[in-house]
């Protein structure tokens, strides 16, 4: 009897727990995460999107919406995002939004990668030519034989082998995305080879996008009940009652976005190097060294996420070394001028990308170069001069100093040194007022030796009070 009741209790408990879990899943499933891209696509944007896509997959959301307004971005960051999109088991819809937004360059590739592509009116997409090629780069099949000849007078030279490699890789990549999603391949190639662009209406007419929607909420309404391909199966979207939830970047992501700004990373690197140099040449309580070490570690973390050019970094370090040499060994400006030149050139080529949003500002480079010149030529040289000055405190300052005998003594007595009364020892007899030199310090006693007779000026100076 009791066994039956216990079994029924266990069954009811299990059913209740399953119902609670099912209710939780329904609550989660009714939420559609909305992730926004505003500005260049970089490491912080890539991390934010991949984290939110993975979280939506774990929560089994019915749909993920990505709103796009970007001029482009880094290839490495775009590839990371597209890999997460292609691996998603939850359908992803991309929307170029709001009005006036664009999905240029990397944004076009992302739009092609999403399961559903949409645009708001008065938005554009395209211009997906790799930036290393420039917007007017010809496609390989459009290069005439005359362009390849040595006597060609064409103002547009044929692309190099590396440029062809970059271009063909970009063409193959966007074609593969177009084939996967069943969209216009021919225009995708034009977007890469000729930097072609389209408006929302034109893109819909050419099967570049699936629909036009003025807002994420309208996009959800339009997608409700539509059947889409998800992997090898087709699913029908049931989005009735779904609630849009805007996913904001976390503080960690905002921190990464701040330090991966090329200008911020550059400043942190310079602060770190200068702090360690100043701590090395002027050891103190460690403020400069600790601050420099922290700044340099953060800078290195940011630099490894950016397209760092190691040749540029080597030139920056060489410039700093030459400026240090100028401060230590004056060379009539040879090391200084060479150091500034290497520093400026290295700063310009520090990041291996022609995209302005991922390069260091020329104004910042000029300002830092000027401050660096002042720092190394004046500040560091001043620190080095201070290190060479004689010590004015401690035992080193006492040994060799002059003292005055306070009373006659033979062997042991007292002398006045810098206004203080010291116990003194001497192998010779000394008289009051004799001028002696400190030979060494033995515990709390001074070993002294008589020196030449004092002048009247020295005698007048020794008449002051000597403290015990």
Domains of the chain, start order: 26-249 (3.90.226.10), 260-388 (no CATH), 395-462 (2.40.50.140)
Half-sphere exposure of 49 (CA within 13 A, CB side): 29
Model pLDDT, residue 412: 86
Is residue 136 packed enough to be buried (19+ CB in 10 Å), middle (13-18) or exposed (0-12)? exposed
CA–CA dist 464, 466 (Å, integer) = 6
Model pLDDT, residue 114: 96
Interhelix angle 262-281/251-259, nearest 10 degrees = 70
Using the 8-state DSSP alphabet, how is residue 390 labeled? P
Distances (CA, A) of 162 to 76, 152, 390, 392: 18, 21, 61, 65
Nearest C-alpha neighbor of 115 from the set 91, 89, 96, 97: 91
Interhelix angle 75-87/106-113, nearest 10 degrees = 10
- On whether the CB atoms of residues 424 and 415 are closer than 8 A, the answer is yes
pTM of the model: 0.68
Nearest C-alpha neighbor of 40 from the set 302, 346, 353: 353
- On whether the CB atoms of residues 247 and 33 are closer than 8 A, the answer is yes
Residues contacting 336, CB < 8 A, separation 6+: 322, 323, 326, 373, 376, 377
Which residue shows structure tokens 């170069």? Answer: 369
CA–CA dist 159, 137 (Å, integer) = 8
Nearest C-alpha neighbor of 349 from the set 293, 310, 379: 310
Half-sphere exposure of 315 (CA within 13 A, CB side): 19
DSSP H or E segment with residue 92: strand 92-96
Strand partners, 126: 104, 197
CA 440, 445, 449, 452 dihedral sign is positive
Residues contacting 256, CB < 8 A, separation 6+: 43, 44, 47, 302, 305
Instruction: Specify the length of the chain in residues.
Output: 468
Regions of the chain short of the pLDDT cut 50 = 2-10, 12, 15-16, 18-28, 133-154, 456-463
Q: Count other C-beta atoms under 10 Å from residue 119's C-beta.
A: 32
- On whether the CB atoms of residues 130 and 150 are closer than 8 A, the answer is no
């Amino acid at each position: 009897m009791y066994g039956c009741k216990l079994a029924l209790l266990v069954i009811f408990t299990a059913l209740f727990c399953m119902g609670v879990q099912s209710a939780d899943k329904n609550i989660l499933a009714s939420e559609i995460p909305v992730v926004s891209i505003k500005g260049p696509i970089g490491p912080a944007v890539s991390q934010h999107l991949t984290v939110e896509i993975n979280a939506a997959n774990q929560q089994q959301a019915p749909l993920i919406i990505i709103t796009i307004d970007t001029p482009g971005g880094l290839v490495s960051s775009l590839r990371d995002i597209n890999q997460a999109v292609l691996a998603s088991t939850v359908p992803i819809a991309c929307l170029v939004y709001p009005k006036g937004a664009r999905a240029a360059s990397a944004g076009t590739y992302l739009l092609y990668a999403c399961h559903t592509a949409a645009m708001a009116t008065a938005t554009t997409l395209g211009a997906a030519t790799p930036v290393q090629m420039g917007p007017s780069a010809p496609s390989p099949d459009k290069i005439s034989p005359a362009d390849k000849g040595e006597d060609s007078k064409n103002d547009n030279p044929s692309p190099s082998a590396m440029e062809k490699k970059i271009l063909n890789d970009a063409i193959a990549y966007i074609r593969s995305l177009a084939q996967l999603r069943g969209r216009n391949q021919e225009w995708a190639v034009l977007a890469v080879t000729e930097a072609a662009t389209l408006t929302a209406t034109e893109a819909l007419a050419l099967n570049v996008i699936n629909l036009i929607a003025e807002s994420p909420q309208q996009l959800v309404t339009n997608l409700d009940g539509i059947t889409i391909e998800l992997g090898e199966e087709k699913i029908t979207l049931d989005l009735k009652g779904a609630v849009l939830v805007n996913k904001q970047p976390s503080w960690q992501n905002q921190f990464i976005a701040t330090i991966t700004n090329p200008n911020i990373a550059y400043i942190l690197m310079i602060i770190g190097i200068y702090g360690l140099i100043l701590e090395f040449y002027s050891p103190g309580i460690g403020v400069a060294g600790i601050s420099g070490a922290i700044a340099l570690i953060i800078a290195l973390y940011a630099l490894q996420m950016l397209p760092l050019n190691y040749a540029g970094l080597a030139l920056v370090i060489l410039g700093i070394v030459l400026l240090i040499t100028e401060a230590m060994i004056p060379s009539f400006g040879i090391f200084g001028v060479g150091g500034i030149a290497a520093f400026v050139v290295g700063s310009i080529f520090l990041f291996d990308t022609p995209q302005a949003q991922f390069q260091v500002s020329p104004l910042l480079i000029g300002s830092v170069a000027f401050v660096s010149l002042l720092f190394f030529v004046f500040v560091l040289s001043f620190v080095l001069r201070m290190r060479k000055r004689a010590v004015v405190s401690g035992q080193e300052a006492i040994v060799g100093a002059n003292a005055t005998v306070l009373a006659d003594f033979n062997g042991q007595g007292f002398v006045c040194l810098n206004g203080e009364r010291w116990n003194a020892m001497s192998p010779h007899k000394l008289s009051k007022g004799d001028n002696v030199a400190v030979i060494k310090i033995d515990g709390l006693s001074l070993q002294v030796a008589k020196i030449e007779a004092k002048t009247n000026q020295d005698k007048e100076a020794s008449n002051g009070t000597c403290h015990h």
